[in-house]
Amino acid sequence: MIDDMLEKAKRQRVNDIYILPNDDNKYVIKFHLNGGLVSETNMADDHAEKLISAIKYRAKMNISERRRPQLGRFRGAQVWIRVSSVGDFLNRETVVLRLIYSEQHKQLGLPESGLFLISGPTGSGKTTTLYHLLENIANNKLVLTIEDPVEIRNPNFVQLQVNEAAGIGYEALIKVALRHRPEILLIGEIRDYQTAKAVVQAALSGHLVVSTIHAMSAREIVLRLLELGVDRNQLLAALAMVVYQRLVPMISGDQAAIADVLFGSDITTATGFTTQWQEVLDEACLAGKITSATRTTFQSL
């Protein structure tokens, strides 16, 4: 049943699969598709519990633990699945499966050194984009990643995983990573001041550092980092390129990534989305790839 569910989700290019309890002693499976939730099927509690246990077993999670939040992952055919589970106040588990696809991203290049940041909402493909950008140059460079957790296993990278319970956080691992003298350092996400400061310092030391951060546009990445307490002069000296990415629903039912990219002085002088962002949406609408409503929605961000 897991394989059938995943195969159906892949055909529809689903971002997330939700397995949720409802009030009728049943569970519902919903697909997150094109920005909305679509109900797929209902099942009895006992069937849902078996399905959840099987998913957790594949993801190397604790099957007997049903209340505490857990994270895991496993590999499907041409897709990685990240699993998150937590119990509600009635001890019923809610499970979310994030599908991470293996498409190629060829239009976006990386700078030689400095800090490269990509932002966007949850589920906008930030990690997938970073991995494929790095795959194109990993054959002749040492790429080291620090993630929480490792989402996509890649034998060409040296991959380290955060373990807060053991006192091994982002800051400590970044110090260890720099001793390996990687040419490219990927930090899964900038969440706090300590991580932000360590990332900026690593970029200033001559490395190419790539990471993700939550922000509402490319220009707001700088504001977000300043809010975290990063020194403004050091930040501006380190930043080489910032990107804001979204997934746009297409008329065909697929989704396409659109990126707003800022370089150099544009990072601090831009006052909104670039004209290129607007033009790409206009061209996609004229070509019949997206609806006019979709164009208006994303142009008004």
Total count of domains within the chain: 2
- Residue 200 is predicted with a pLDDT of 93
Rounded CA separation 247/16 (Å): 13
Structural domain includes residue 109: no
Q: Judge if 36 and 123 occupy the same domain.
A: no
- Residue 104 is predicted with a pLDDT of 37
Q: Which helix or strand (DSSP H or E) is residue 16 part of? A: strand 16-21
Rounded mean pLDDT of 291-301? 94
Structural domain includes residue 49: yes
Structural domain includes residue 54: yes
What's the CATH code of the domain at 138?
3.40.50.300
Q: Are 245 and 259 contacting, i.e. CB atoms less than 8 angstroms apart?
A: yes
Q: Judge if 178 and 86 occupy the same domain.
A: no
Structural domain includes residue 237: yes
Angle at 254 between CA 40 and CA 83, to 5 degrees: 50
Structural domain includes residue 144: yes
What's the CATH code of the domain at 38?
3.30.450.90
Q: Are 208 and 199 contacting, i.e. CB atoms less than 8 angstroms apart?
A: no
End-to-end CA distance of the chain: 39
Residue 154 sits in which domain range? Answer: 114-299
Confidence tier at 105 by pLDDT (50, 70, 90): very low
Q: Judge if 283 and 210 occupy the same domain.
A: yes
Q: Judge if 244 and 153 occupy the same domain.
A: yes
User: Parallel, antiparallel, or unpaired for β 143-147 and 158-161?
Assistant: parallel
Q: Is residue 133 classed as helix, strand or coil in its secondary structure?
A: helix
Total residues belonging to the chain: 301
pLDDT digit string, tens, across residues 108-149: 567 878 899 999 988 888 888 888 888 877 667 889 999 888
Q: Judge if 53 and 168 occupy the same domain.
A: no
Q: Judge if 48 and 126 occupy the same domain.
A: no
Confidence tier at 106 by pLDDT (50, 70, 90): very low
- Round the CA-based radius of gyration of the chain to a whole number and report it: 20
Token match 């001559």: residue? 206
Structure pTM?
A: 0.67
Structural domain includes residue 108: no
- Residue 109 is predicted with a pLDDT of 64
Rounded CA separation 282/114 (Å): 32
CA-nearest of 234, 140, 133 to 183 is: 140
Q: Where are the alpha helices (DSSP H) in the chain?
A: 2-11, 45-58, 126-135, 170-179, 193-204, 220-227, 232-238, 266-269, 275-286, 292-299
CA-nearest of 257, 260, 282 to 13 is: 257
Q: Judge if 135 and 226 occupy the same domain.
A: yes
pLDDT digit string, tens, across residues 214-253: 998 888 999 999 999 999 989 988 998 999 999 999 999 9
